[in-house]
Structure 1
Amino acid sequence: MALVLLDGEGDLNRPTTLTLTIEIEGQGHVATARGLLPPQPALVEQDAQWRSLYRNYQDHYAQGSEPSPELLGQCHQALQRLTTTFNNWLQSKSCREFYSQWTRILKDSDRILIILRLATPQLQQLPWQRWDWLQRYPQAAIAHFSPHHLFKPGRNREQDSPRDHLRLLTVFFADLPGHTSPLPHVETRFLQGPTPGQLEQALWDAQGWDLLYFASPHFPPYDLSHGLKKAVKQGLRLAILNSEQEIGLMQRFKALALPYLITTVEPMPEPLAQGFLRVLLHHLHQGHPPALALRRAVEQLPQLEPNYPGQGPIL
């Protein structure tokens, strides 16, 4: 197992410094390289253009009307422009040493966890899951922070009681989807618009939860931190946030020291979110680490729903 730490300093209106650190299991630190990327303000404009088109497209569905094929085409074109500019930027000549060190040390078949430690929101929101370099490494996965431990279902930290299945708590502060069918190998409980007491009681479940799926168009009007801290103490390892206010929610959840936190690029329509969740849980049940399970689920998103260009989760 190889760990690649990618530190980014700067923003897109001035040069960005990338520092690559490679660590190999059993060997420790083996290499460091730096690259200086040129300013690329076009990425800011193209990201904003894609998000605007995507939200316009999704608003049609929310209002019960069918978006035009032209609008879908514009979304795809905007996403392609953004992806092309992003990858060209990362292939700047000043980063040759960066990639040279990578290819010298790591083989295509290596299992690699890439940890992004990016200093500014501009860098964080770039489409890193669409980095062409990842195609060379099918066993590589990418995450935005360093996970605390590998994901193993069924371990309650307080009671230390193993289980042979995953436990999922799904919380909706919107309409509950009509097709929430049981997920294989997963014990699931659904809560729709719970009161503070109901949610607190669920989070305190004595058996503990492995995963929490949280769908809300807005912040709930009460504090979740006490119940969430208890859930983390009892074994909660992964939370998935699907919200229009995911940045604020993400900060709340990160403060709880969750091992893994998945957010969405843009709020994900529930039919697509449920399909993604099913695929993600399948790969987790197969024993994949969360970052690799996320990559596999993201790769299947276009097959799940081709009409949401650029949508995807971020770990």
Structure 2
Amino acid sequence: MEKLVIIKIGDGDFQQGFPVTLYIGKQGDHFSPSWDGKLPPEPQLPVLYSEWQSEYPRYYKYFIIQTINQKSEDLINALNNWLNSETFRTIKDKLLHKLDENDTVQMIIQTEDPILRRLPWCQWNWFEGYTKAEVAISLPNNDLPSQEVQPKPKVRVLGILGECSHPNTSIVIDTNPDQQCWENLSNDAEIVFLEEPTRQEFNQKLWDKNGWDILFFAGHSWSNPDATTGEMKLTHNNNVTIRDLKLALKKAIERGLQLAIFNSCDGLGLARDLAELHIPQIIVMREPIPDLVAQKFLEYFLEAFSSGKSLYIAVREAREQLQGLENQYPCASWLPVICQNPTVKPVSWKGFNQSLTSLLVGKDISQSINNFDLAWFCSLVKDKNLDQTIRKAYQNSLPSVLKSDLKLWSLESNNIKQILQILAGFKRLPQFLNHLIQDENVPEEIRSKLSDLKIEEMLLVSSDKLLESYLIVTLKPAEDNSKEFLLNAWLIMDDSVPLDNNPYRFLPLIDDENQRQPEIKCKSDKIPEHLDKLIRKCEEYLEGKKYNLTIEFLLPIDLICQEVDRWKINDPLVKEIPVGFRYPIRLRSLERQESGYLKTYQSNWRKNWDKVRNVLEQKPTPELFEHLQEIESFNNWKKLSLSLNEKIGLKLTCAPPQAQAKRKDLFLAILQATTPIAIWTRCNLKNCDLAAEIERILTLNTLSRLCESVQKVRAEANAEENEQHLGFHLALMWENPYRLTPDVMVQLMPPGQ
């Protein structure tokens, strides 16, 4: 999942410390949640930075590698100690709590302080655990740039190659490799180079009416000591600042300039000046950079960026590849840094407006359709029976002037996100919805839900209804006998609309682009930590909605008596809370998901579920449940299975058998009878009439709310803090044959669907 993290460092200094505010959200979010912390006084840090910078060879001509390496180590140790301080713990804990190691994280450090902007934030050891994260810096105040986006057949690049000799040294750089890197992309990009231009020539080219996507500079540059301004050397006696080109650059940004790359020395001052014009993003070198390092960075970056990787991942990969040069050029991997305007989503190579279609597809529709409705639409149209209906409604909703555009007509039929983005771009979402609502080929329950959606000034907002949401978690032992487990999870955002056989209503919560069926492999003590992160992901999807979230654990019957409801999750007010006190928990058997079981038993399972449906809104009566009060001497499992065939559930008012084999026989009898519901205590309790207490729980409310009744009893146990309370040991199995895992549903689909 893509995450945006902003760490805003307020006014302060290294003598008194700095106030810090953390924001975490998704791209396009209007940040409301925030957390405050503080970076404590650390007067030694700017001293260590100054010592490192004084040893760091300004032109890489004279230096002692051992000395600079020691200064580097001292600086990094001090930086990490500072960021691990107690007053900053709130910020770091929230990062660990809210972010998953597989998230793609765009982290922005917002600060005015010149030393903070120069620090190598990429060396914070937090990044070691987040391999898809990269850091940028930003000014505290940013505006959304006003841009007149013009579709272009290719990415347009203006390359400025300054004079190669340095004004104060004999160092001569070679910009030919930089030029070659760009020319290797000539199939995808239109590159215009100006070699040693005058200020007037540079200025005039920025005014090009066709606009530019990327501005590139290679040559000599430098910043003043506090990096508040900088200069580029164009020719022997002609230097230029950003302020000298201010009006031309503003016009270039208006016409679509999104990225500036200064592959030259000490560029933070240039970035500071250019950021005040609200350009989306800039890449600069924070210190003087050797010619070879600059050349290699550009080569590595363009290779990754043009291949489709995000700007942030491309910069991180290019930076890290520079480590191979650090035996000759210490700290080379520290030098490149992104300067980001946080109001703008980072650009991608394919996102440089190459065509009308890509322009529209790239449109952020977060202001036209919210995450919940988008996810619901995506699940809806994966039903092949609606394929032609969706396509017809889409095509009929396009403006007539565009109906001959073959690119728009030939979109993938099931790509609802692309369809909605294009229609939002043309402001045709209302027409699309109306076509679907009036089409009798769309099932009545779906048309009803579509009618519940309101469109006001092109904002698509679902009605204020209570969602029935489910977190589905599967857990099974790894096959390599490593004593580890495989964890997978999905979210059903709303199960109130009956799409019983549609596997695409499940949103995968574990993403790994390298695996067809991703799973987390972990030891048992790490499962609660992963569960907590999965719940956080669900909360992000459901943010702003009213919902009941129920968690269903699918376990092999050998693990069905695990105390999953007592696994601890984080809470914003108290440190930890058992998950079963916060959410209703249902247990399910993984064996019922196996194809062999489904082929043999699915029909009977559905028949028994129909019995449950008939009494869902009634309080259960004793005759609906088979009652077992003693189990240790019981051994007629065939008889139990036969008795269960006449019931909707099993009520076990004693603990399951101690012996694992006998306990397995019990649950196999339940599976063979295709019994949908079972309730039991995991252990026998003193001074508790288990039969009476479980019967009380069964009749607290209607059968449809049995899960909530169990949760209420667990909450009572938590309040009393009495380990002999039944709420600490109660287990509920609830098996809905129409809520199989999506991978199983796909396998059961008829050919051609």
Same fold (TM over 0.5): yes
Where does residue 83 of structure 2 map in the other structure?
A: 90
Q: Aligned residues, how many?
A: 298
| Cα 1:169–1:275 shift into 2, 3 Å | farther
Name 2:314's counterpart in structure 1: 293
1:80-127 deviation per Cα after TM superposition (whole angstroms, max 9, x unaligned): 111111011100122222222222221111122112112421222211
Q: Which residue does 1:32 correspond to in 2?
A: 34
Contact 2:211-2:255 within 8 A present in 1 as well: yes
CA contact (8 A) 2:5 2:108 kept: yes
Indicate conservation of the 8 Å contact 1:241/1:262, yes or no. Answer: yes
Taking structure 2 as the reference length, the TM-score comes to 0.37
Give every structure 1 segment of 4 or more consecutive aligned residues whose post-TM-superposition deviation is greater than 4 Å. Answer: 25-31, 146-149, 242-245
Unaligned 5+ residue runs, structure 2? Answer: 165-173, 222-230, 233-238, 339-753
Equivalent residues in 2 for 1:54-203 (5 A)?
54-56=56-58, 58-60=59-61, 67=62, 71-145=64-138, 158=148, 160-163=150-153, 165-175=154-164, 176-179=174-177, 180-183=179-182, 184-185=184-185, 186-203=189-206
Q: Label 1:306 to 1:206 Cα distance change in 2 as closer, same or farther (>3 A).
A: farther
2:265 and 2:286 in contact (8 A); partners too? no
1:108-163, Cα deviation, whole Å (9 max, x unpaired):
111221121124212222111111101111122222138989xxxxxxx6572233
Q: Greater RCO between the two (CA within 8 Å, min separation 6)?
A: 1
Is 2:307 the partner of 1:252?
Answer: no
Q: 1:314 aligns with which of 334, 337, 340?
A: 337
**Which amino acid in the other structure matches residue 36 of structure 2?**
R
Aligned partner letter, 1:314: V
- CA shift at 1:225, angstroms? 1.8
Identity %: 31
Residues 1:59 and 1:135: Cα distance change in structure 2 (over 3 Å): closer
User: How much does 1:194 deviate?
Assistant: 0.6
1:226-284 CA-to-partner distances (Å, cap 9, x unmatched) read 32223222222111235556344233312322111122111223332122112222222
The aligned amino acid for 2:81 is: N
Gap regions ≥5 residues in structure 1: 61-66, 150-156
Shift in Å at residue 18 of structure 1?
2.0
Partner of 1:152: none
Distance 1:111 1:210, change over 3 A: same
CA distance in 2, matches of 1:121, 1:182: 32
RMSD: 2.8
CA contact (8 A) 1:7 1:118 kept: yes
Report which stretch shifted further, 94-103 or 80-89: 94-103
Matched-pair contact (CA < 8 Å) for 1:242–1:267:
no
Indicate if the aligned counterparts of 2:6 and 2:107 stay in contact, CA closer than 8 A: yes
Could you tell me which amino acid in structure 2 is paired with residue 181 of structure 1?
Q
CA distance in 2, matches of 1:89, 1:301: 26
Matched to 2:125, the amino acid is: D
Residues 257 and 279, structure 2, Cα contact 8 Å, conserved in 1: yes
1:170 partner amino acid: G
Matched with 2:220 is: 216
Tell me the residue number matched to 2:250: 229
Structure ID, larger Rg: 2
Structure 1 segment 260-271 matched on structure 2, within 5 A: 260-271=281-292
Amino acid at match of 2:211: G
1:308 is displaced (CA, Å) by 2.4
CA pair 89-174 structure 1, distance change in 2 beyond 3 A? same
Per mean C-alpha deviation after superposition, the further-off stretch among 271-280 and 140-149 is: 140-149
TM-score with structure 1 length normalisation? 0.83
One-letter identity of the residue aligned with 1:2:
K
Matches of 2:278 and 2:45, distance apart in 1: 31
Aligned equivalents of 1:25 and 1:242: distance in 2? 28
